[in-house]
Amino acid sequence: MVDDVLYAAHVIAGARYGQATTCGSNIDYGSESSASRAAAMKTHEGAEVLEGYPCAFCRGWHIGRKMSEDELAESVLLAEWFQARHSDVFTWLAGGNDQGEVPELG
């Protein structure tokens, strides 16, 4: 299970890439474990390494290419920044707010 910072990092990365790419017509696997199993199975079938990720838009779980170390590091830094300075936004990013709207940065 991904921790809150890693979850938030994936949501941040997804938001940066946009809804069409991150969510679009992608399958919602319903849970982290289902997405992880599907990613492992599809990775085994093909050459590209896939991973499950939480969606910034539908709050479901999709699969896609594994983020590069640089992409992941940058997203983790942003998640940690939100955690330290805007805990309400971090809580939303980490999946703790089911209201669907991003809190104001005040």
Residue 43 pLDDT greater than 60, yes or no: yes
Cβ neighbors of 105 (< 8 A, separation 6 or more) are 86, 89
Percentage of the chain beyond pLDDT 70 is: 89
Q: 74 near 68, Cβ under 8 Å? A: no
The pLDDT value recorded for residue 53 is: 94
* Residue 79 parent element (H or E): helix 69-85
Determine the Cα–Cα distance for residues 73 and 69; give it in Å rounded to an integer: 6
Sequence spans of domains, the chain: 4-93
Is the four-CA dihedral 103, 80, 71, 8 of positive or negative sign?
Answer: negative
Q: Is the pTM of this model over 0.85?
A: no
Percentage of the chain beyond pLDDT 90 is: 35
